[in-house]
Structures are given as C-alpha cells and as structure tokens.
C-alpha cells in the first residue's frame, strides 16, 4: 500500500487552527482532511436541545478554509459528530453551511450526509431482546427511559464513512461518530491496516494536542504497511515520543486495550520512535474483531429548567459561617415551595467549587464566588426559587455577623439568570446491531 497522509486541522471543528499550519500541511500532499466536531464532554445539553456546540460563524469560517483547500487539492473533507452531538438537526444545520460555502465560492462537489439518529422503537426492540448492555451509565436501559428520551444517537464506526467514499463523496458530514473512526476511515477504505489506522486516529483526533507545545492546530499522520508517522503542521511545533505516547493514553481507562464498534485494539506491542526533531514513528497496534458488533447509544431527556445567581463573598465572617448558612437557606427554600419539588445546589469557587468533597486544600479563602443553582419543572418556578434564595442570602443574619448591610456582591443585574432547559443522559449503553451500516443512512447531493 502506498503511504497515505491524513491532515487533521484541529481537535474540534470551530476551535481554530493556524493559517500557516494549514498551508504547510497541505504542501505535504495529504490524501484527505478529516476532523472531529463533537463529544459528550460538554454534557447532554447539545444532544437534547439540538443547539450547536460551536457557533455557525466559527464552523462556516473553518469549513470554508478546509473545503476550499480540499477542492483545490482534489481530496475529500470528512467531518464527524457535527454540531457537537451529531444529531439529525445538527447534521442538517452543518450541511446547510456546506451548501452556502459551495454557492458563495462557486464550488462543485458531491456532498454526503450520514445521519446517526436511532428510532426509539428500534432501541426498545433491542432492550426487549436483551441486546443492550451497560457501558458507563451504571444502570440498565429501560423502556421508560427511552420513552423520556428526546434525542437518541449512536456512534458510527468507519464503515458508513467508507460507504460515502465509495459513492464518490467530496465532503462528508457525519452525525455522531467515534472520533478515531472519522480519521481512520479513509486509510481503511484505501486498504490500510485497521489497527494502525484506528490507533493513528486516536492520537490525531485532538489535532496538535499530541505535539509540543500543544494547541488546537494542524497535525498530520502518514500511514504505511508497518506503522504511521506523525508531525504537526506548524513548524513552531514538534512531535515527541512523550507528547505522542501521552496522547495515545488520553481518555483511556486501560492503556493497552482500546474498544470500538466491532473491534478491540491491542496496544501492548506498540513502540514510539523519534524521527528527527519533529516526527514520531508508531508501530505495533493489533486488532481483534468482536464476536458481535455493538454501537454506543447516547440519549438525552429533559430534566427540568434551570436558573442561577452568581455572587461574590469577601466578608471573612460570612465565609467562615458559609456551610451553615447554605444548609439553612436550602432547607427554607425546599419548605417554602412545598409541594413543588425543586433541586438546589451551591458551588463555592475559591474554596471547593471544582473538587467539591474531594478538595484536599481547606485553607481559609479571602474571597469566594458563589453560584446558586436551582432546577425545577418550570422555568418560572426555578427563577422564583433562585431569587428567594439569593435574596434571603443577601440579608441573612447568622451568629457572629458583623456586616449587616449585605452578604453578597452581585456582578450582574438582574442577579438571577434563567438558563433554560436542562438535559441529562438517559442512555449511555451499547446496542447490538446486525451490520455496521444499518443505522447510518448515507444521502448524496450534487452541489
């Protein structure tokens, strides 16, 4: 197999890359531009709401640069998990941007869209047939949970993308997809060892985060019969054994086993070799096909509506008494709004806002930031409860109080902000399928 070079412009489409890095990367004659555009890292909101993780302004700007570069070089552009969650509405929105770009720049191309939405009834049949297993949810998927699910997608592997390449697609806009599969698809389609291609995809999926200094920027991988070689697009960065091997371990519970749809990658025999100052050579990944093909389901359901208040506290006596104050205010609010249930949480930044009960450093803080968070079945109720708490906190009298004029400093007016609908994951499970492409239809369009 002739060597195949994949250019990955950034870790998430819309998060940026250098013009110089892209130009230099394209001068190295890549065979494909492939980039991931989503994740569950930002939580279930974008899946449930259908809103884009990154603005259309940023997506269109970067897609324009990539599609124009791809068309000039005569190579395909592949984007996976578009919109952040890869739902159908996000696929449609991104495809509309591609049409705008083609029209505005006079580009002729074949557009492929691949949807990853899973019909609820299809998932219910799988649950009834005991073809769904827990992944990381910690609980079984039920018919009731599926009834509450507003959006359900599954992570596709490389196979649907290869099907679009078979059809001659120039630009592929894919719904939810395994991040490494988006990058591995073209090399596998051309005959590369799937183990090497998927391992390369895993390291490339965050762009130049596998380089030094790391950044959302261009990274390239060249795969051949025996391994692959990585280097950053920008001459200001370098790939090192440390940076590349570290990213091979990134987001992996097991450093030697990497599961994916229909396969498991064995990394125990991998080696990393420095080539010159800027390149790293990787070899040794092996692939075993699983007995059955499972895809990961991701579902979101509406959990309520949220309002928040943000305030600062600098009074040392208030900070010292804060735990007791917050407990009293929460108890009063829950009682005040009976029989309507509300959820109240406090986040104390500068003390333990990030680590919560796991925080080890309990040294006194000079000032803290307080976020009051209320979730309820209706936005009006959430807002009312949030203001009841923030107002009560502002003038709360506690033992040892010195300053009677106010306990909180509000940076914003209004002090209570309505965030809108709140979503939570309802499905985070694996579902058995009959084939890798049955749930991921490819639609073609000539622009």
Q: Nearest CA to 34 among 56, 60, 67, 1?
A: 67
- Please tell me whether residues 371 and 260 are part of one structural domain: no
Residue 112 in domain:
yes
Strands of 314-438, DSSP E: 342-349, 368-376, 416-433
Distance CA 278, CA 41 (A): 30
Residue 195 in domain:
yes
**3-state class (DSSP) for residue 51:** coil
- Please tell me whether residues 289 and 330 are part of one structural domain: no
Residue pair 343/330 in contact (Cβ under 8 Å)? The answer is no
pLDDT number for residue 255: 87
Residue position matching structure tokens 């219910």: 124
Domain that holds residue 322: 315-408
- Please tell me whether residues 268 and 360 are part of one structural domain: no
Residue pair 422/46 in contact (Cβ under 8 Å)? The answer is no
Distance CA 137, CA 168 (A): 38
- Please tell me whether residues 197 and 232 are part of one structural domain: yes
Residue 125 in domain:
yes
Distance CA 71, CA 220 (A): 18
- Please tell me whether residues 206 and 232 are part of one structural domain: yes
- Please tell me whether residues 343 and 252 are part of one structural domain: no
Residue pair 234/36 in contact (Cβ under 8 Å)? The answer is no
Residue 192 in domain:
yes
- Please tell me whether residues 230 and 320 are part of one structural domain: no
Q: How many domains does the chain have?
A: 2
Query: Backbone dihedral region of 168: left (phi > 0), alpha (psi from -120 to 50 degrees) or beta?
Result: left
Residue 309 in domain:
no
- Please tell me whether residues 385 and 432 are part of one structural domain: no
Residue 417 in domain:
no
| pTM score of the predicted model | 0.94
Distance CA 334, CA 418 (A): 19
- Please tell me whether residues 68 and 127 are part of one structural domain: yes
Distance CA 424, CA 45 (A): 7
Distance CA 113, CA 443 (A): 5
pLDDT number for residue 291: 94
- Please tell me whether residues 294 and 323 are part of one structural domain: no
Residue 418 in domain:
no
- Please tell me whether residues 138 and 207 are part of one structural domain: yes
Residue 303 in domain:
no
pLDDT number for residue 403: 82
Low-confidence ranges of the chain (pLDDT < 70): none
CA dist list (Å): 250 to 337, 373, 380, 436:
45, 32, 42, 26
Query: Backbone dihedral region of 323: left (phi > 0), alpha (psi from -120 to 50 degrees) or beta?
Result: alpha
- Please tell me whether residues 262 and 322 are part of one structural domain: no
């Amino acid at each position: 197999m002739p060597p195949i070079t994949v250019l990955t412009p950034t870790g998430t489409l819309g998060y940026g890359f250098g013009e110089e890095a892209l130009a230099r990367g394209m001068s190295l004659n890549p065979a494909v531009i492939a980039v991931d555009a989503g994740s569950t890292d930002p939580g279930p909101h974008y899946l449930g709401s259908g809103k884009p993780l990154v603005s259309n302004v940023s997506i269109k700007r970067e897609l324009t640069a990539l599609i124009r570069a791809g068309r000039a070089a005569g190579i395909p552009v592949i984007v996976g998990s578009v919109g952040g969650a890869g739902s159908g509405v996000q696929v449609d929105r991104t495809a509309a941007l591609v049409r705008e770009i083609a029209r505005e720049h006079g580009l002729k191309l074949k557009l492929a869209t691949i949807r990853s939405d899973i019909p609820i009834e299809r998932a219910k049949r799988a649950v009834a047939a005991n073809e769904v297993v827990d992944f990381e949810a910690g609980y079984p998927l039920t018919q009731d949970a599926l009834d509450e699910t507003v959006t359900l997608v599954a992570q596709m592997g490389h196979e649907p993308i290869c099907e679009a390449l078979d059809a001659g697609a120039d630009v592929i806009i894919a719904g939810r997809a395994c991040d490494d599969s988006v990058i591995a698809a073209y090399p596998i389609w051309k005959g590369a060892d799937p183990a090497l291609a998927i391992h390369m995809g895993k390291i490339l999926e965050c762009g130049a985060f596998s380089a030094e200094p790391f950044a959302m920027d261009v990274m390239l991988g060249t795969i051949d019969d025996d391994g692959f070689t990585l280097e950053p697009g920008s001459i200001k960065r370098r790939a090192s054994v440390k940076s590349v091997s570290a990213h091979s371990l990134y987001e992996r519970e097991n450093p030697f086993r990497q599961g994916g749809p229909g396969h498991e990658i064995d990394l125990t025999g991998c080696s990393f070799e420095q080539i010159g100052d800027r390149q790293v050579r990787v070899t040794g990944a092996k692939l075993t096909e699983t007995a059955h093909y499972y895809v990961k389901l991701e579902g979101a359901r509406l959990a309520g509506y949220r309002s928040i208040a943000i305030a600062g506290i600098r009074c040392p006596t208030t900070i010292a008494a804060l735990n007791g104050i917050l407990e009293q205010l929460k108890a009063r609010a829950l009682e005040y709004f009976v029989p309507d249930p509300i959820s109240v949480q406090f986040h104390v930044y500068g003390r333990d806002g990030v680590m919560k009960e796991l925080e080890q450093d309990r040294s006194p803080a000079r000032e803290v930031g307080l976020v009051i968070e209320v979730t309820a079945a209706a936005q009006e109720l959430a807002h009312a409860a949030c203001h009841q708490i923030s107002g009560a906190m502002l003038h709360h009298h506690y033992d040892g109080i010195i300053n009677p004029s106010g306990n909180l400093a509000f940076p914003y007016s209004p002090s209570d902000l309505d965030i809108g609908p709140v979503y939570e994951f309802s499905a985070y499970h694996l579902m058995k399928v009959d084939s890798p492409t049955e749930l991921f239809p490819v639609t073609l369009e000539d622009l």
